[in-house]
Amino acid sequence: MDFLSFVLYFLLSTTAIIALISLFKQTKTRKRNLPPGPTPLPVIGNLLKLGNKPHRSLTQLAQTHGPIMTLKLGQVTTVVLSSSVLAQEALQKQDLAFSSRAIPNAIHALHQCRDSVIWLPVDHRWRCLRKILNSSLFSGARLDASSSLRRRKVEELVAYAGKCCRDGKAVDVGRAAFRTSLNVLSNTIFSVDLADPSEDTAQEFRDLVWSIMVEAGKPNLVDYFPATATLDPQGVRRRMTAYFGRVLELFGGLIHERLAMRRQTKRAAENDALDALLNIREEDRGEIDRMCLDLFVAGTDTTSSTLEWAMTELLHNPEVLRKAKAELEQVVGIGKQIEESDIACLPYLKAIIKETFRIHPPVPFLIPRKVNTDVKVCGYTLPKGTQVLVNVWAIGRDPRTWPNPTAFMPERFLGSEIDVRGCDFELIPFGAGRRICPGLPLAMKIVPVMLGSLINSFDWKLEGGIAPEELDMEEKFGITLQKAQPLRALPIKLF
Ligand code: HEM
């Protein structure tokens, strides 16, 4: 037998064996009482069904197979939950069993998953990290103490839009909001601006965070065929190692400077979150670097993309924008910046934010969960290790819950008690249960203030004379759901 025939023979027989094993496993899987789902192909399972917008394709599949559905993604059994009732079952009634994370291979880069509050299982270490986050950053007292800092950052955002207005230039809304989110976080933690508020210097960091999101969110064969993990065939882990390395280097430098300063002044000041973290954990510097990496990755793009989508919807729906401006004029006064304390008196603005989260949840499948034991749901059994995706995007557009679900209608939330804090499972953009987003209280302060201030300080027009109804509303999928075409809008002077 020549070499070519041998290779062909080898490939064919290997494929046949894998196909047989896979078929055998699939039959076994059916017997294991899993929820229904599309028939998987040998070896690749249902991978081809994902497409490049998995939130949309899985929503469509759920219409055929139901709100609890099994997919075989390569070798990984995945269950997709697509209704508020099932989300409540997993995230509230059986929260503990569903609280582990399915860790993408990319997150093993530089062993980030070993020290990360996002990826650790619910254990003693994770509880400690969450406690530290709550006490050092997100408690009511901490957030109140840092409100003037956030006010300054929003002032800078409005000043930047003012400069664009004078120069007749459009604002790239997502990019500007990203600089603000980045500086809010970097000032809260390190007391420094990581971005010049009036320039594009945040672009590199934004690209870095975006690249991390894309790498973590993109289909990686290794995640579906864990046996190939050491090979890293698409190079995802290699690239992630470089991105993590650059971010950790940046934060390591800032922490090093702070430690030197504390040694010089010989006192443990408590001026910002870094001081608070060092006071609790100075001996464990590595843990602080990692926590900062988590916070910047989890907190910047989610916040700025929410603002970009909210502005996009307002420019797409001029009547909603007009009503929001009228409310602001009446409550705050035309042309003024919004204070955090004003938010409670702005029900229409709050409704716009909820409607944006309903229709454009930034993290459409939450951060993937995994069951850490065999679990029974709706009479089915999810075997230990099953990956679980909660399709928040589908839940937000479920016609049984939301009349006219694709229309942007903030009015649906006026007089409604539904909130985003993890108790109303029809609307869970921050997740729910013990793994709910710890940054929720910060996000719910900064997003309405940024949006309200921008629309109360200027009139807005789409760049290039695009009519509202022609505005491109396409998304691109990563771990966060971004606007495919950046929103560019011209701020117009009010009087
Ligand atoms: C609009 C803004 C935001 C949205 C929509 C959002 C959404 C989410 C979601 C869906 C999760 C997963 C929850 C789950 O699995 O149930 C999450 C986790 C997390 N978020 Fe956020 N987030 C936002 C802002 C922030 C901010 C500002 C921070 C911090 C500065 C932050 C830090 C985190 C962390 C550390 C986790 C992991 C928690 C854990 O696994 O225990 N997020 N976020």
* String of DSSP letters for 366-388: -SPEE-SS-EEETTEEE-TT-EE
- Residue ranges of the alpha helices (H) in 32-83? 54-65
One-letter amino acid at 432 equals A
Exposed, middle or buried: residue 213 (CB in 10 Å: 0-12, 13-18, 19+)?
buried
Whole-structure pTM value:
0.92
How much distance in Å is there from the Cα of 363 to the middle of ligand 1?
9
450 lines ligand 1 (CB under 6 A): no
**What is the predicted pLDDT for the residue at 197?**
63
- Mean pLDDT score of the chain, rounded to an integer? 89
430 lines ligand 1 (CB under 6 A): yes
What confidence tens digit (pLDDT) does each residue in 262-295 have?
888 766 666 788 988 888 877 777 788 899 999 9
- Determine the Cα angle at 225 with ends 223 and 228, to 5°: 100
CA-closest residue to ligand 1 atom 9: 430
328 lines ligand 1 (CB under 6 A): no
Rounded CA gap, 432 and 219, in Å? Answer: 25
Rounded CA gap, 201 and 175, in Å? Answer: 11
Counting residues of the chain whose pLDDT is more than 90, the rounded percentage is 70
Mean pLDDT of 429-454: 97
What confidence tens digit (pLDDT) does each residue in 184-242 have?
999 999 888 877 665 555 567 767 877 887 787 677 889 999 888 888 889 999 999 99
- Both tokens of 143, joined, read 């957030």
Cα 174 from chain centroid?
A: 14
Q: What are phi and psi of 74, to 5 degrees?
A: 60, -120
Q: How far is CA 155 from CA 145, 160, 369, in A?
A: 18, 9, 38
- Three-state secondary structure of 182-241: HHHHHHHHHCCCCCCCCCCCCHHHHHHHHHHHHHHHCCCHHHHCHHHHHHCCCCHHHHHH
- Asked whether the beta carbons of 81 and 417 are under 8 A apart, the reply is no
Residues 208/58/53/373 CA torsion (nearest 10 deg): 20
Cα 83 from chain centroid?
A: 20
Helix (H) or strand (E) holding 275: helix 273-281
How much distance in Å is there from the Cα of 302 to the middle of ligand 1?
8
303 lines ligand 1 (CB under 6 A): yes
439 lines ligand 1 (CB under 6 A): yes
CA nearest neighbour of 391 among 61, 26, 81: 81
Rounded CA gap, 194 and 253, in Å? Answer: 13
What confidence tens digit (pLDDT) does each residue in 352-375 have?
999 999 999 999 999 999 999 999
- Determine the Cα angle at 326 with ends 325 and 328, to 5°: 65
Pocket test for ligand 1, best of 131, 287, 302 (most atoms within 8 A of CB): 302
Tell me how long the chain is: 495
Most confident of 126-140, 264-278, 439-453: 439-453
Pocket test for ligand 1, best of 311, 369, 388, 430 (most atoms within 8 A of CB): 430
- Asked whether the beta carbons of 297 and 212 are under 8 A apart, the reply is yes
One-letter amino acid at 42 equals P
In ligand 1, which atom is closest to the CA atom of 294?
A: 35
306 lines ligand 1 (CB under 6 A): yes
How much distance in Å is there from the Cα of 465 to the middle of ligand 1?
36
In ligand 1, which atom is closest to the CA atom of 447?
A: 1
Rounded CA gap, 179 and 177, in Å? Answer: 5
181 lines ligand 1 (CB under 6 A): no
What confidence tens digit (pLDDT) does each residue in 17-43 have?
444 455 445 545 455 799 999 999 999
- Residue ranges of the alpha helices (H) in 317-399? 318-331, 347-359, 392-396
What confidence tens digit (pLDDT) does each residue in 305-357 have?
999 999 999 999 999 999 999 999 999 999 998 999 999 999 999 999 999 99
- Both tokens of 228, joined, read 């190939």
**Is 437 marked within a binding site?**
yes
Question: For the chain, what is the total number of helices (H) and then of strands (E)?
Answer: 17, 12
**What is the predicted pLDDT for the residue at 20?**
47
How much distance in Å is there from the Cα of 33 to the middle of ligand 1?
33
CA nearest neighbour of 398 among 438, 371, 428: 428
- Asked whether the beta carbons of 451 and 338 are under 8 A apart, the reply is no
Q: What residues contact residue 128 under an 8 Å CB cut-off, 6+ apart?
A: none
86 lines ligand 1 (CB under 6 A): no
